[in-house]
Amino acid sequence: MSDGNCQNDVLAPPSSKKIKINNENDVSVSDIEPQLKDFVLEKILNNNTNRKTVCVQGKFKDKSGVALVILEKNAFKEEELDNDGYFSVDSELRTFFQNDIYGNFECFPRASINGVKTTIIYPATEKHIVKFSQQEVHIVLETPELYEKLTLPHLEREQFNLQWVYNILEGRSEADRVVHDNKCEREGFVLLPDLKWDGLTKETLYLLAIVRQRGIKSIRDLDGSHLPLLKRVRDEGKKAILQKYNVKGSQLRIYLHYQPSFYHLHIHFTYLRHEAPGIHAEKSHLLDTVIDNIEMMSDYYKKSTLPFTIREMDNLFTVYETNGHLQRVNNIELIDK
């Protein structure tokens, strides 16, 4: 149990035991042991040729409910660029063309190094479908007044279920993936690989720190009372990543999203060379800058105008559109005509 200031808390090492949740009322990916051969494609939601990802909607044979499957090409691992990997006797080249000193081919390496990162969401809700669908995007400049009047009521009505977050914090799920676990209820957090990362390739390193303190939805809720928590996440997160992955703190991008994908405070740690999704100015806030702003003004993020991106299929877009703050692309086109 924590003392009053959490200064003497013992940092728990990652558990090697995976704990399974048994709840007859829960139906999830772990219950169906999904096989891609049983997946029935119904719709392609998003084919991102830049990031080499695709999200498709469908269902599993003999199962009710919608399923989403996200396929992503893996980054190259430097240790596989040798004669046992891509340059082995098993690699096959098919020629597109050859012209003087230039040749263009398609390479088919052996299957064991040619995997595709696969994420399955089942059963998927309408919110998941909206989240992963390709659509028009807009920027909102959210004042504190707009947050209180439009954004916050919407979040309280429609945010994603956070049970999966609590499962991690309580050690009931993904315990074998935890890199660092500080048990302090006020300043503690769990650090583990993000679902976007395979947990192996340094070049795409991506971890997530989920704080234990409940009730902090986003950067909007932060003030001076949270500085010890934010600094602890930063400092202990850097130390844990250096020890496990040999990546220095100066090589990490540590940031918060606004708006976040789920409304329980979490902080992103990515390798600086990795262009992870959501690192751009309209969404990402560096943790050191957040700390500095709060040190200058305790309620900085309660008074600031914050930008965020919003997609046209999001229900929050409709809220802002109805109140005269946004207009759909198609509507603009009709006006111009």
Please identify which of the residues 138, 226, 266, 268 carries the catalytic annotation. Answer: 266
Structural domains in the chain?
78-112 (no CATH), 135-322 (3.30.428.10)
Residues with Cβ within 8 Å of residue 89, at least 6 apart in sequence: none
Amino acid at 261: S
Q: Residue 33 — pLDDT band, cuts 50, 70, 90?
A: confident
Please state the separation of Cα 318 from the chain's center in Å.
24
pLDDT confidence of residue 127: 82
For range 114-122, the mean pLDDT: 89
Average pLDDT of the residues in 329-336? 54
Q: What distances in angstroms separate CA 221 from CA 46, 110, 214, 217, 321, one per listed residue? A: 33, 50, 11, 6, 25
CA proximity to 69, closest of 109, 21, 117: 117
This prediction's pTM? 0.70
Using DSSP, state whether 335 is helix, strand or coil. Answer: helix
Residues near 148 by beta carbon (within 8 Å), at least 6 away in sequence: none
Check if the beta carbon of residue 259 is closer than 8 Å to that of residue 218: yes
Question: Interior CA angle at 166 toward 162 and 167, to 5°?
Answer: 115
Residue 283 CA to residue 219 CA, distance in Å, equals 11
Contacts of residue 245, Cβ cutoff 8 Å, sequence gap at least 6: 202, 205
Say whether pLDDT at 111 is over 70: yes
Comparing 153-162, 176-185, 232-241, the range with the smallest average pLDDT is 153-162
Comparing 155 with 236, which gets the higher pLDDT? 236
Catalytic site includes residue 257: no
In which band, very low, low, confident or very high, does the pLDDT at 285 lie, cut at 50, 70 and 90? Answer: very high
Helices marked H in 50-162 — which ranges?
126-132, 144-146, 152-158
- Mean pLDDT along residues 101-120: 89
What is the band of 134 on the pLDDT scale with cuts at 50, 70, 90? confident
> What is the three-class DSSP state of 81?
coil
Q: Is pLDDT above 80 for 166? A: yes
Amino acid identity, position 74: N
Judged against a pLDDT cut of 50, whether residue 1 lies above it is answered with: no
- In three-state secondary structure terms, 176 is helix
- Length of the chain in terms of residues written: 337
pLDDT at 27: 56
d(CA 287, CA 267): 8
